[in-house]
Amino acid sequence: MKPSTDTATAVPTKQFFVSMLTRDIKLEDAILDLIDNCLDGALRLGNGGKPDYSRYLVKITLAKDHFSIEDNCGGIPREVAKNYAFKMGREPNDNRDSDTETIGMYGVGMKRAIFKMGRNAIVKTRHDKDGNQDTYEVPITAAWLDAANWDPLPINEPTEAKEKLNAPGTRIYVTDLNEGVARHFANPAFVNEVTTAISQHFTMFLHWGFKIEINGESVKPVHVEVLVSPREDGPAPYVFRKTSGDVTVSITVGLNTSRRAEGDDNEDDADFAGQRASATAGWTVLCNDRAVIVGDKSRLTGWGDLPLVPLYHPQFAVITGIIEFRAKDAKKLPVTTTKRALDASSELWLESLVKMKEGMRVWISYTNDWKNHPRSDQQSYWQDAQPLPLSKAIEAVAARKTAKTSSAIDEAGGDVETVEFNPKKNNVLPKPEEKKPSSKRIVFSRPVEEVRAVSKMLFDDPDVNAGTVGDECFKIQLELAKPSKKRRS
């Protein structure tokens, strides 16, 4: 075939790209995406280690005419802005953050969030390097969105001191909000919904001191914890941890506690585990410290996978499971681009689900054993147990002499390290005493004359108490129901 000098255009139209990019993400998830970017900035300042999160603050404003988010998390280096940050997607050779445990994969989060909210935005940032302050801003305008071409975005320099940020960080200001967005931002119910989503998704960082404010109000973390006794033979959760290559899967399943379940730090009125259901009963799934799902009770996390695991029932409200996936390469995590949904077809997730159900089975059996016994009967067994988050729970249980640890080599020649503890197999779960014979009340009514007639027959007295008559009738039938001596022989 003869080659031609003609070419066929193979780039997406801007209108199509923007509409499709924002179609499958919820408004609250777009806000969470922007907070994730702030956290990534703090992580980079940690230089590969865990930063002091208490130094960092994110302020969010939801208003009927604008959205803003501002942080002090280091800002965007100018070279990153020129070559990466505003590009619509990530190049295959872009290995930034290869040593940082983030969950960003595709390089669309900030742009998608802005497009979801409005048609005009200004991204202002300050990045300090070698003692020098560099402040600049990048506008994204309606005119640029409506234009057919993909012209580069301008980088503008501030001309007055008041235009500069007080600390290294980034401020995003969005106006000309899209239809419906303004109503959401002005609705207190939506603000509460976003606050709850933040308290769940970033619970680990909030525990570590990271501060997030919405419309001037601080967001408090939820408490996803399981009870662990410090005694070697005390009750403890099911634990499984596996590190293969640069991916670590950590699982714990145990009893939750109402202690601080709603963000209340007052433990004086905390109930024994089982007295009240925790707000985080079910499964919480973490990916690099972000809670992708909190308190899931569906088939997604194994509930209702008969015959091993029944459908979720209020009896199981005292059971909490936590699983975390950690990897420096975010593409290895079983999470979608919204960062708030699981890739349930991931091989890593399906493999982990087997262990999750094994742990659930332990505690389903435990609740079955105790369901007909007073809750107070368990209290003495659990009185020294403390509510611990995932990492501390695994550390405490892994330190027990009965915890199983192993090392192996996988098919690719990589090291595989595992830690496992099954409280049922190790006989550390309290068992109820043998059940005493129980009684059931039998109540029925018959016409008065019939009761008098039976009473006359049994006691030669028509006026014996009706309860006594009924009891005597039952005794007669019970004797008939018993196997005869002849039949037993």
Identify the sign of the CA torsion 21, 27, 31, 33. Answer: negative
pLDDT on residue 437: 63
Q: State the amino acid at position 486 in one-letter form.
A: K
Q: Which helix (H) or strand (E) holds 188?
A: helix 188-201
Query: Which DSSP string corresponds to 445-458?
Result: ---HHHHHHHHHHH
- Of 320, 181, 312, nearest to 237 by C-alpha is 320
Looking up tokens 């993400």, which residue turns up? Answer: 25
- Of 233, 253, 277, nearest to 375 by C-alpha is 277
3-state secondary structure of 128: strand
pLDDT on residue 232: 94
Distance CA 464, CA 457 (A): 11
Report yes or no: 93 and 36 within 8 Å, Cβ to Cβ.
no
Distance CA 49, CA 52 (A): 10
- Of 105, 93, 31, nearest to 68 by C-alpha is 31
pLDDT on residue 208: 93
Distance CA 161, CA 454 (A): 103
pLDDT on residue 265: 44
The stretches in the chain having pLDDT less than 50 are 103, 105, 259-277, 488-489
Looking up tokens 């068992």, which residue turns up? Answer: 431
Q: What are phi and psi of 246, to 5 degrees?
A: -105, 20
pLDDT on residue 93: 62
In DSSP terms, which residues pair with 253 in a beta bridge?
238, 321
Helix, strand, coil percentages in the chain from 3-state DSSP, rounded to 5: 35, 20, 45
- For residue 342, the 8-state DSSP code is B
pLDDT on residue 260: 40
Mean pLDDT (the chain, rounded)? 86
Report yes or no: 447 and 454 within 8 Å, Cβ to Cβ.
no
Identify the sign of the CA torsion 71, 75, 81, 83. Answer: negative
Distance CA 177, CA 189 (A): 19
pLDDT on residue 246: 87
Q: Count Cβ neighbours within 10 Å for each residue of 296-306 and write b for 16 or more, e otherwise.
A: bbeebbbbeee
- Of 203, 222, 219, nearest to 262 by C-alpha is 222
